[in-house]
Amino acid sequence: MTQIDARLREDVHQLGELLGTTIREQYGDAFLDKIERIRKGAKAARQGSADGARQLSETLDQLNDDELLPVARAFNQFLNLANIAEQYHRVRRRDPGEAKPFENRILDELLQRLLADGHDREALARQVGQLDIELVLTAHPTEVARRTLIQKYDAISAQLAEQDHRDLSDAERDAIAGRLQRLIAEAWHTEEIRRVRPTPVDEAKWGFAVIENSLWQAVPTVLRKADQTLQRETGLRLPLQAAPIRFASWMGGDRDGNPNVTAKVTREVLLLARWMAADLYLRDIDSLAAELSMQQASDELRARAGDSAEPYRALLKGLRERLRATRAWAHESLAGPVKPSAAVLSHNDELYEPLHLCYRSLHDCGMGVIADGPLLDFLRRVSTFGLFLVRLDVRQDAARHAAALGEITEYLGLGRYQEWDEEQRLVFLQTELSSRRPLLPADFCPAEDTAEVLATCREVAAAPAASLGSYVISMAGAASDVLAVQLLLKEAGLRRAMRVVPLFETLADLDNAPTAIERLLALPDYRAQLQGPQEVMIGYSDSAKDAGTTAAAWAQYRAQESLVDICQRHEVELLLFHGRGGTVGRGGGPAHEAILSQPPGSVNGRFRTTEQGEMIRFKFGMPDIAEQNLNLYLAAVLEATLMPPPAPEPAWRAQMDRLAADGVAAYRGVVREHPQFVEYFRQATPEQELGRLPLGSRPAKRREGGVESLRAIPWIFAWTQTRLMLPAWLGWEAALSGALERGEGELLQDMREHWPFFRTRIDMLEMVLAKADESIASLYDERLVDAELRPLGAHLRDLLSQAGDVVLGLTGQTQLLAHSAETLEFITVRNTYLDPLHLLQAELLARSRRREHEAGSALEQALLVSVAGIAAGLRNTG
């Protein structure tokens, strides 16, 4: 087997040794020896040693109550340090002659391929400049790492970079080792887990911190390199105001099922974003003013700067004062509405224009090399982040809007809106949207839920247009759902266009999406007022929870195809918004491959997708890693636009219809129809405990009930903790086995070879199956599940085994991920630290269920640390 790069092994070993030293200093040699016995036992057990398995089990069984938490913490930290080393390895210094990472060269190679295929240089450069990619950062109830620890992990990574120089002296190496030892000790002596749930504002601040600490540096770097690549390959530059990648957020705007997100919270988050943007620009302008000390300037700039020996600094001084006024106003407004003074910046142009004037002047005066330095980076940031840092989306459930309108129509004596059919609703909504009179009388006193919906709409109406993204309607099912939001926004005083976006989530809703959008675009008044594209959000999480990933993936694909056709017929631009999670069970997986597997025509220079919680940290938490992932997005959207995949053959469609039908039947046969399934799920996984842990601001359930009431994230997270990974594969084993039994193996091979959609699904399935582990899942059953339920667990593990066998048969391999030896080795290395955590977690769950314990107790802390460690080890967990 291919071994992990020696330098990566050295880093992992060094960090592990330093952690061991820290643990020894606190707990002594005997405790560290116990940790080492557990680690060696786990490693030997993984290699098939019965003695190793016995050593592992016996050592864990002999742990005292007061040893449970430090042991859990030790393996949690080992996994986090392994992650740090692996992440750094991706961006480490390359030796002369060593190939750059794929992510760093992908755009160059794609442009060369496109030019070789005959694409016009000017058209190609224009397309790059017009790309519109928006990454929507969302909160994540399984992102358990505290911000203070994340900062320490980043500092450890920075020290790995410092020591990655061959010409360091012994003293310099010792100093770096000393700093690493200190940072690891700081991390070890810092509580990993927050004691209280984060508020929605806390989550928004976490999102802002990712921008401040990483994306603020990464974005201009990516655009600078894209500009250089474009110039080298086409002779043309990236336009100054081009912003091919922008960012939006749901943190503080997503109120679907989260009563903690209120109109007041949304207003506070919008103001905090303005404060943060002004603060970041002030830091930039201070350093820029120190650099732009030149005297020579254009007449245009001198006319603005006045009689100054340093005209650039004079111009920037005025801009600095306006940024300070903006920051101060945003801070004051947090306590209550404050009218902004004339100095407060309210439009991007007010920030961009003086900087652009400096840029033009420097070029006009022969100082282009200075203009194309930090000043150009500043301009790129203004184009990307604007005055508002991120655009805030608002999301609410369609039922909340219908209930609000129901209360209003009853108050007005018109009947109950919820009881009307679709045609009645559309007639009423269109009449009221075209009416000049208000719908609501001044003395209308709504119930609490309706009052909150209306208050949110008033905040949307009051906020600057550039600070907001889209208004997303979850569980949308009809054209009336969109008009209902438009009417509520109109009543709140909104007089500008805002994208109101239906989110189609369940299997039935996805199948009905084309009908709903066709009906919507057929309304003359709606079409007349539509400005910009028709945005439609495709739900991956709930559709997979509803029907399994086999049927959900095909329904998502077919819905997108139909929406492309409908919008083309109506001559309306379509923007598809992909609600993807971090895991395969929620539409996750490598973004590059996922984009290239979308239906032809669905990625037409535009792409909008969610980036969630822990995946934000893994993909964008460090500038160099963020740069690689932004490169992947740029290249994938460009390639999918100019070189879309082929439309599926009729035989492939028919096959996917059969696979989807078999998959949904098998999935629902277990999840919905097996009488013991819900009780088994609750006993075999930490689902109940996850609901009590302070993981995120949003409740784990939308309402009381069974699996259907669970949110998609904790539903998948619970199965991931036990390594059964059930939501990501259940249904595929029946679908693929059925196809092979019908003699359709050759057709499946043809689909895998020539259809990116199917190939990507199988690749993601293979990845999740490689991370699944029957023996670990069995361990949870033995410790936690009643005897009468264990046959169901054994049956599910048999299905998992079948899924692995059928994928191996399809790929022609003898081992899952045999084609990706390094990835397989990463999983193997992590298992050495994961196995003890799984055994420990099962024991902790058993103890927790046997006895009462207080919130924040050592037992609960140890349990949460085990959850965090397993999440860190498996990476894409929820």
Catalytically annotated residue among 43, 152, 545, 592: 545
DSSP percent split of the chain into helix, strand, coil, nearest 5: 65, 5, 25
For 505, counting Cβ atoms within 10 Å of its Cβ (0-12 exposed, 13-18 middle, 19+ buried), the class is buried
**Does the active-site annotation cover 545?**
yes
Number of C-alpha atoms within 13 angstroms, CB side, residue 162? 16
Give the other-Cβ count within 10 Å of 338's Cβ.
15
Q: Which of 744, 763, 748 minimizes the C-alpha distance to 818?
A: 763
Q: Which long-range contacts (C-beta less than 8 Å, at least 24 apart) are formed by 64-69?
A: 65/858, 65/859, 66/858, 67/31, 67/34, 68/840, 68/843, 68/844, 68/858, 68/859, 68/862, 69/858, 69/861, 69/862, 69/865
Distance separating alpha carbons of residues 755 and 757, to the nearest angstrom: 6
Distance between terminal CA atoms of the chain? 30
Distance CA 838, CA 849 (A): 16
114: enclosing H helix or E strand: helix 102-116
- How many CB atoms are closer than 10 A to CB 123? 12
Residue 432: closest CA among 516, 488, 470, 501:
488
Report the amino acid identity of residue 740.
Answer: L
Q: Nearest-CA neighbor of 438 among 482, 473, 488, 390? A: 488
- List helix spans (H) across 292-390: 299-305, 311-333, 348-364, 368-370, 376-385
Say which residue the tokens 């009431």 belong to: 709
Amino acid at the residue 256: D
CA-based nearest residue to 89, from 4, 199, 186: 4
DSSP for 64-112, written as a single string: -HHHHHHHHHHHHHHHHHHHHHHHHHHHPPPPTTPPPPHHHHHHHHHHH
Q: Is 140 a catalytic residue?
A: yes
List beta partners, residue 710: 701
Looking at 89, 140, 205, 771, which residue is catalytic? 140
Q: How many CB atoms lie within 10 A of CB 339?
A: 7
Which residue from 203, 235, 163 is spatially nearest to 696, judged by alpha carbons?
203
The span from the CA of 1 to the CA of 776, in Å, is 24
Q: Is the separation of the CB atoms in 793 and 781 below 8 Å? A: yes
Rounded to an integer, what distance in angstroms lies between the CA atom of residue 215 and that of residue 534?
Answer: 28
User: At residue 440, what is the residue type?
Assistant: L
Alpha carbons 573 and 450: distance in angstroms, whole number? 33
Say how far apart CA 143 and CA 148 lie, in whole Å: 13
**Both tokens of residue 205?**
């601040």
Give the integer Cα–Cα distance in Å for 851 and 559: 49
| Amino acid letter, residue 774 | E
**737 contacts 663 by C-beta, under 8 angstroms:** no
CA–CA distances in Å: residue 785 to residues 178, 716, 779, 862: 47, 19, 10, 21
Tell me the helices (H) and strands (E) count for the chain, helix number first. Answer: 39, 8
- Tell me the two tokens of residue 603: 């990625």
Give me the active site residues, please: 140, 545
